[in-house]
Chains A and B, each alone.
Chain A
């Protein structure tokens, strides 16, 4: 039961089929990478898992530790333990990082309990230090005017403050220079452990040099066509996605 399980998921948008009988199981304690060419449905998968309402789910199921999350509201899915690090984090003017994370934490507390501000800031500052984020950022509006690297660090900061059971990271490496990539990866690696599962979605192998996966899946045309150990990422990098297309286009 300690798994994130996606079973035979069929999803379309505006009549076009995007995910085709997609299945994937991620046990807690493992990091799975999902690689594939652009337009193959990786980001759709991430959004559907998080409860985005724009997609039409035809059939299939998604469970977290046995609990159904498909069709639930995004906040309920988050409470069930799923965190999505966005490829393009939204800018929210006028809402400070600290207040935002506090609101997210407060929403998880039982009725009548409140957050201890001193402990909250202590923890927040510690995690910002880990991510090499200036503490002054707490008062800044969420992602407002942030560089690409700052936005991604801020995603990892939220992820670590919210302590999810399953982390979905959608193209976290896009827009990062090598230093930011290392910092962000260290932040993720600090969170790895037996009680948490990861799905790292990426187009490039580069991120996987720093976040070494237990399993690599290759996605093509709406489904997983091939899975293997961490070395599969390097193989993909050297052979390129044309190899995927040539090998799997016929079966897809």
Chain B
């Protein structure tokens, strides 16, 4: 067995042309990975997680897929057909980068592979790239990401520019034992508007992979950004997603995550409100089955007054699956008139499944509206009786109720094609399950 950090050092991600600051950040990241202790059970930020099941050694960055594989993956990168741009990566190699229209380029929008962005816009990248962490316990893995990142996209939208169609990024794993480090950096300047879809998938059901993805979203004054994430790795994948949102004055940001795949998925999502009047939504739905574990950690930080953050995480659990929702709302002293909400709903479809909920509040201001709530329950027997009385068989009725449970979030997707594709993904997962 070779440790992952040895593998990383054997195949350094940095290139000779990289700026010094990046070489330094990579080195610091690797040191962070090597010196920080692995997650432990007694660590509050890893509470309930089966840290013993975390396996990250033996993975390594791999070469580019064959042209035939690449072609097949490109063809499968089709969840959103109306788009402003598309990037497709496999095993951290770029397969295609469908750039922007002339019009958007003329307006100064940048939609580039990270490597190109580093060459063409080093100052912008120095300001934002690898600068923000979630503060939710995965600094060790963020360090590894910093050391290893080679694939990803930058989206930069200048002041006042609005992009109607989404930018769609696909990240595939293909080779056996690959380690990938996808990165999505979104910078929306004042009153800019854009939406981004990140889609994580595996080529086959079998290829084992490690994913450590980072996304940093910066929304300046009045910016409107909607980011959707579809995590559909196969069940041979260990996945980390470390996502942050920083919202400026009156910014409106929506994050929506659909979590389907992975053997074990850690999803950290931090929202930091730095400007008054900001409004940030955090939505997530998760379908857990077999021995899957979804470990969700969220952090809503209000550092400015009169802002709203609203979180809704819904999980449906089958078999022996586990979910952990741990959410914290923190309202700073001066952040008066804050509205911060946090809701976690867990639907247990099998008695062997396990949902853990750890909602938390830390409020230093005295004039705020905050609420948090977590519920865990089974399908309602009276609702089931009602549906069956109409002649709907038990299994179909259960499916309808589960899909209905998710619909509250799916209907917010705001793109009918993607919403329908997401429904199909969820339906597929349930097809043979609810019996």
Query: Among A87-95, A117-125, A186-194, which stretch is in contact with chain B?
Result: A87-95
Chain A residues numbered 64-96 whose CB sits less than 8 Å from any CB in chain B: 73-75, 77-79, 83-84, 86, 89-95
Is there a chain A Cβ closer than 8 Å to B422's Cβ? no
A39 and B397 alpha carbons, distance in the complex (Å): 31
A89 and B405 alpha carbons, distance in the complex (Å): 18
- In the complex, the answer to whether A52 meets B385 with C-beta atoms within 8 Å is yes
B394 CB to closest chain A CB (Å) equals: 7
Give 1 or 0 for each of B384-412: 1 = CB within 8 Å of chain A CB: 01111111111011001101111110000
A50 and B407 alpha carbons, distance in the complex (Å): 29
Is there a chain B Cβ closer than 8 Å to A137's Cβ? no
A86 CB to closest chain B CB (Å) equals: 7
Is there a chain A Cβ closer than 8 Å to B383's Cβ? yes
- In the complex, the answer to whether B382 meets A103 with C-beta atoms within 8 Å is no
Task: Tell which of B388, B396, B403 touches A74, judged by Cβ atoms closer than 8 Å.
Answer: B388
Known A-B contacts A103-B396, A103-B400; the reply to A94 vs B389 at CB < 8 A is: no
Known A-B contacts A99-B400, A100-B400; the reply to A158 vs B405 at CB < 8 A is: no
- In the complex, the answer to whether A78 meets B389 with C-beta atoms within 8 Å is yes
A152 CB to closest chain B CB (Å) equals: 14
- In the complex, the answer to whether A107 meets B400 with C-beta atoms within 8 Å is no
- In the complex, the answer to whether B390 meets A158 with C-beta atoms within 8 Å is yes
Is there a chain B Cβ closer than 8 Å to A104's Cβ? yes
Known A-B contacts A78-B391, A104-B391; the reply to A94 vs B385 at CB < 8 A is: no
A108 and B403 alpha carbons, distance in the complex (Å): 21
| Chain A residue with Cβ nearest B409 | A94
| Chain B residue with Cβ nearest A85 | B389
A77 and B391 alpha carbons, distance in the complex (Å): 8
Chain A residues numbered 91-133 whose CB sits less than 8 Å from any CB in chain B: 91-95, 99-101, 103-104, 107-108
> How big is the B interface, by class?
20 to 34
A224 CB to closest chain B CB (Å) equals: 24
A141 CB to closest chain B CB (Å) equals: 7
| Chain B residue with Cβ nearest A91 | B383
- In the complex, the answer to whether B390 meets A73 with C-beta atoms within 8 Å is no
Residues of A within 8 A of B396 (CB): 103, 107
Known A-B contacts A84-B389, A90-B382; the reply to A75 vs B394 at CB < 8 A is: yes
Known A-B contacts A95-B403, A141-B404; the reply to A90 vs B392 at CB < 8 A is: no
A95 and B387 alpha carbons, distance in the complex (Å): 11
- In the complex, the answer to whether A86 meets B404 with C-beta atoms within 8 Å is no
B325 CB to closest chain A CB (Å) equals: 20
Residues of A within 8 A of B406 (CB): 94
A86 and B388 alpha carbons, distance in the complex (Å): 13
Number of interface residues of A (CB under 8 A): 30
- In the complex, the answer to whether A75 meets B388 with C-beta atoms within 8 Å is yes
- In the complex, the answer to whether A94 meets B405 with C-beta atoms within 8 Å is yes
A94 and B391 alpha carbons, distance in the complex (Å): 19
- In the complex, the answer to whether B391 meets A108 with C-beta atoms within 8 Å is yes
Give 1 or 0 for each of B191-228: 1 = CB within 8 Å of chain A CB: 00000000000000000000000000000000000000
- In the complex, the answer to whether A90 meets B383 with C-beta atoms within 8 Å is yes
Residues of A within 8 A of B393 (CB): 75, 107
Is there a chain B Cβ closer than 8 Å to A162's Cβ? yes
- In the complex, the answer to whether A92 meets B392 with C-beta atoms within 8 Å is no
B314 CB to closest chain A CB (Å) equals: 10
- In the complex, the answer to whether A78 meets B404 with C-beta atoms within 8 Å is no
- In the complex, the answer to whether A103 meets B392 with C-beta atoms within 8 Å is yes
A146 CB to closest chain B CB (Å) equals: 14
A79 and B396 alpha carbons, distance in the complex (Å): 15
| Chain B residue with Cβ nearest A80 | B391
- In the complex, the answer to whether A107 meets B391 with C-beta atoms within 8 Å is yes
Chain B residues numbered 352-398 whose CB sits less than 8 Å from any CB in chain A: 380, 382-383, 385-394, 396-397
Task: Tell which of A73, A92, A93, A99 touches B386, judged by Cβ atoms closer than 8 Å.
Answer: A92
- In the complex, the answer to whether B394 meets A92 with C-beta atoms within 8 Å is no
A197 CB to closest chain B CB (Å) equals: 17
Known A-B contacts A93-B407, A94-B404, A94-B406; the reply to A100 vs B390 at CB < 8 A is: yes
A130 CB to closest chain B CB (Å) equals: 19
A143 and B400 alpha carbons, distance in the complex (Å): 15
Give 1 or 0 for each of A50-64: 1 = CB within 8 Å of chain B CB: 111100000000000
A51 and B394 alpha carbons, distance in the complex (Å): 13
Known A-B contacts A92-B383, A93-B408, A94-B405; the reply to A73 vs B388 at CB < 8 A is: yes
A86 and B404 alpha carbons, distance in the complex (Å): 21
A107 and B392 alpha carbons, distance in the complex (Å): 6
- In the complex, the answer to whether A73 meets B394 with C-beta atoms within 8 Å is yes
A162 and B385 alpha carbons, distance in the complex (Å): 17
B168 CB to closest chain A CB (Å) equals: 26
Residues of B within 8 A of A75 (CB): 388-394, 397
What are the nearest 6 A-B pairs in CB distance? A94-B404, A94-B407, A78-B391, A74-B388, A104-B390, A95-B404
27 contacts between A and B (CB under 8 A): A51-B388, A73-B394, A75-B388, A75-B389, A75-B393, A75-B397, A78-B389, A84-B389, A90-B380, A90-B382, A90-B383, A90-B386, A91-B383, A92-B387, A92-B400, A93-B405, A93-B407, A94-B408, A95-B404, A95-B407, A99-B400, A100-B392, A100-B400, A104-B390, A104-B391, A107-B396, A141-B407
New A-B pairs, 17, CB < 8 Å, besides A86-B386, A99-B400, A101-B390: A50-B389, A51-B389, A53-B385, A79-B391, A83-B390, A90-B380, A90-B383, A92-B404, A93-B407, A94-B403, A95-B403, A95-B404, A100-B387, A100-B400, A103-B390, A162-B390, A162-B391
